[in-house]
Structure 1
């Protein structure tokens, strides 16, 4: 299953956004209002939980300075990645788009598509808070 957030313009440089996104604690600023738990578990990992959903642990998987940050599930039970693509548009502005890629069976994909789509849209729309 592949899902993309809307592309959002952020009045920050690509390097600034990259530096913010590789720091796990900054993801708390991007989380939706219905967050039930957020805990940094290491320099490059965190656990979050939304009300009514299981907790998910994300860990830094890859990064390309200053245009890409890839987070992945720390568990093999639900294998997925969340990629932040940063495109510089000027010296102090960038576009950001999030890409979710997960391997789910058809039933699971149907259940999680709506909540995940809403979640990545919220993360993207909160990029200006960094």
Structure 2
């Protein structure tokens, strides 16, 4: 399953956005209102839970300054990644788009497609206000 958030304009340089997304503790500021738990486990790993959903542990898998930050599932039963792509518009603004990629059976994919789409859209649209 591949899902993409809308592209979001951020009035910060691509390096500033990259630095923000590279620090996993900043993801707490991007989470939707229905978050029930957020905990930084290590420098590059955090746990979060949304109300009514199981806890998910994400860790930073790759960071290519200033254009890409990739988070992936850290253990657990589901294998997926969340990729933040940052493109420079000019020296003081950039665009961010999140891409979710996961390998799920068709039944699971059908159940989670809506909530995951809404989740990555919320994360992306929160970036301009969080930085």
Residue in 1 that maps onto 2:50: 50
Per the alignment, residue 97 of structure 2 pairs with: 97
Q: 1:54 to 1:76 in 2, by over 3 A?
A: closer
In 2, distance between residues paired with 1:91 and 1:45?
A: 30
TM-score normalised by L of structure 2: 0.98
Q: Report the counterpart of residue 125 of structure 2 in structure 1.
A: 125
Normalized against structure 1, the TM-score is what? Answer: 0.98
Report the alpha carbon displacement of residue 39 of structure 1 after superposing the two structures with TM.
0.2
- Structure 1: distance between partners of 2:24 and 2:43: 6
- Partner of 1:126, secondary structure, is helix
Q: Describe the superposition over 1:3-40 as per-residue Cα deviations: whole angstroms up to 9, x where unpaired.
A: 00000000011000101111111000000000000000
Equivalent residues in 2 for 1:1-130, closer than 5 Å: 1-128=1-128, 129-130=130-131
CA-based RMSD: 0.6
Deviates more, 1:81-90 or 1:69-78: 69-78
For this pair of structures, how many residues does the alignment match?
130
Give the Cα–Cα distance (whole angstroms) in 1 for the partners of residues 54 and 76 of structure 2.
Answer: 15
CA drift of 1:76 comes to 4.9
Q: Indicate the SS of the match to 1:54.
A: coil
Using the TM superposition, give the Cα deviation of residue 75 of structure 1 relative to its aligned residue in structure 2, in angstroms. Answer: 1.4
SS in structure 1 opposite 2:15? helix
Runs of 4+ in 1 over 6 A off after TM superposition: none
Q: Distance in 1 between matches of 2:117 and 2:96?
A: 16
